[in-house]
Chain A
């Protein structure tokens, strides 16, 4: 029982890190630009499909793992000026426009890749499981956890130790102050938008061998991003990390005790946290 629980907590961390990657871009985008992007799930969807395509073309999962997120990130970064039309709209109209965009992305994926789901195999070295004493754990999931930990550490260094990070942290507090300092907030934001999209794309590639690839996985990712952000607090990097991990662990431990409820568990957890701490774990306001 103890090792089963441990393996579910490990699973939860793995899932949670993918959730964090899905949510963090949307959260920071909103924090800086007050722009709510319903099409954010589309980056996750595109990441999974571009990853699938790269695996098909090159036969290398590693190439897809690096190539797909960069690809999504670049496209988002370069197309950010087109999004700026939406910043001045009301939130409701932002939602209508990005809802339209989400549909466009989803239907384009269907046009190119069909509605039938695809399977992406984990690379040869990551098939099977490893055993630590009597604790057995799938290699691929262990790999996801490692990628996630390295990535979270890297992002933390980027935020805390670089100029870009300082501007970004300040930017989620008040963009006006940054502009007073003579920094072009739009360039910082375009880069952040690209980074967030790339992370969602990476989550898509990483999730592909676990859950498969299908055209309607966008809304699911969006719902998860929302849960993570409600739990963690909007506009905060660490909020997204804490929220993602907590939700991931809640979800996978429920599947031990009450498998039927594991789909619903994260939403119940969200409602509970919202009632206890209305601002989210690390939210300001």
Chain B
């Protein structure tokens, strides 16, 4: 029990930290919509982190799931006039199906081949979405996505038209997804995912089928990322073609890796940092991405654990500084 006790306590602490972050964001940031964008991309990085941080799979395919979720939600609202629960469930369903398909193809190959396959499939799905303009709106995007109210049996529970109420919905989903994935991380299933990352052939010899676990991890990741995509469609009130292109995959990967994959919380830091910086800097200098590129190079070379590892390092340094002064006092009564 005690062997894992610290893990449980840590994830509880992280969830409390996320709730605090989510509560503070609208107050600290210049607008609620910026906070909403942060929270949506936090969800997307959580999906990416499950694959990259746990299983060690660097997937350029996250844009596919994000885009699939966007289109599913958008179409459910535009074509069917569905409510948010149905539309987001549609995203969840389509995301998991697409992820199962892409995962079962790409996860057959390991290492760089896997990475290259996911990128190639992203480009394929981009062309698919571009070509199926009757359904997706092609280059113009899928227009007219509204934010239907959250209702039950005809009674409106939460109108989502106001920015704050939509933010509340996104935040609740974000915290729920975090709690779910923290749970998965500590589960027997999550333990096998880590084993695959550490030594795939040994995992196989011990009696697991790594491919099945990888595909399941893909499905879970695809579901989460697609929900983020669905929320993003409601947030933008339309679905641009860029929701499904390579740069969306890159964006999600950059946020995840900049934040660090050692912990799920790394993605929270990465997503908030990139979204807020892009908002602040793009007003000052439209080519700010150049700076982001330089930062990524520096992080890759000097800080492979990402911003999360830097924060942890500072935290331990501080703790040592504080405790470093007290132990003698603490031990005195015992020694007497």
Contact = CB atoms under 8 A, between A and B. Distances in A.
Interface of A: 30, 36, 85-86, 89-97, 99-104, 106-108, 110-111, 219-220, 222-223, 226-227, 229-230, 234, 260-261, 263-264, 267-268, 270-271, 274-275, 278
Contacts of B294: 100, 104
A108 B120 contact: no
Contact of A274 (B58, B105, B112, B124): B105
20 contacts: A91-B115, A92-B58, A94-B300, A97-B300, A101-B297, A103-B292, A104-B293, A107-B287, A107-B293, A110-B287, A219-B123, A226-B116, A226-B120, A230-B117, A234-B112, A263-B130, A264-B124, A267-B123, A275-B105, A278-B108
Interface residues on B, range: 35 or more
B131 A263 contact: yes
Given A89-B304, A92-B257, A99-B296, A267 B124 contact: yes
B296 A103 contact: yes
Contact of B112 (A36, A97, A104, A107): A36
Interface string B43-71: 00000000010000010000000000000
B58 A95 contact: yes
B115 to A, nearest CB: 7
Given A92-B257, A96-B300, A270 B120 contact: yes
Nearest to B306: A96
A104 B290 contact: yes
B143 to A, nearest CB: 22
Nearest to B127: A263
Contacts of B116: 226-227, 229-230
B297 A100 contact: yes
B250 interface: yes
Nearest to B300: A97
A260 B131 CA distance: 7
B121 interface: yes
A179 B287 CA distance: 43
Contacts, number: 118
Contacts of A267: 120-121, 123-124, 127
A101 B111 CA distance: 21
B115 A36 contact: yes
Interface of B: 52, 58, 105, 108-109, 111-113, 115-117, 119-124, 127-128, 130-131, 246-247, 250, 253-254, 257, 287, 289-290, 292-297, 299-301, 304
Given A100-B300, A227-B120, A270-B120, A111 B52 contact: no
Residue of B130, B131, B287, B296 with most partner-chain A CB within 10 A: B296
8 closest A-B pairs by CB = A100-B296, A267-B124, A103-B293, A263-B127, A97-B300, A226-B116, A107-B290, A104-B293
Contact of A111 (B112, B287, B292): B287
A271 B123 CA distance: 13
Nearest to A275: B105
B131 A103 contact: no
Contacts of B289: 103, 106-107
If over half of B's interface residues share one DSSP class (helix, strand or loop), that class is named, otherwise mixed; here it is: helix
Contacts of A36: 112, 115
B218 to A, nearest CB: 16
Given A223-B123, A226-B116, A226-B119, A93 B304 contact: yes
B50 to A, nearest CB: 15
Contacts of A271: 105, 121
B295 A100 contact: yes
A116 B115 CA distance: 31
Contacts of B287: 107, 110-111
Nearest to A94: B300
Contacts of A101: 293, 297
Contacts of A90: 304
Contacts of A97: 296-297, 300-301
Contacts of B52: 92
Given A89-B304, A99-B254, A229-B116, A264 B293 contact: no
Contacts of B128: 264
A103 B300 contact: no
A234 B120 CA distance: 15
Contacts of A260: 131
Contacts of A95: 58, 115
A107 B295 CA distance: 14
A41 B26 CA distance: 39
Contacts of A106: 289
Nearest to A93: B300
A222 B246 CA distance: 10
A111 B117 CA distance: 32
B109 A274 contact: yes
A30 B112 CA distance: 9
B304 A91 contact: no
Nearest to B124: A267
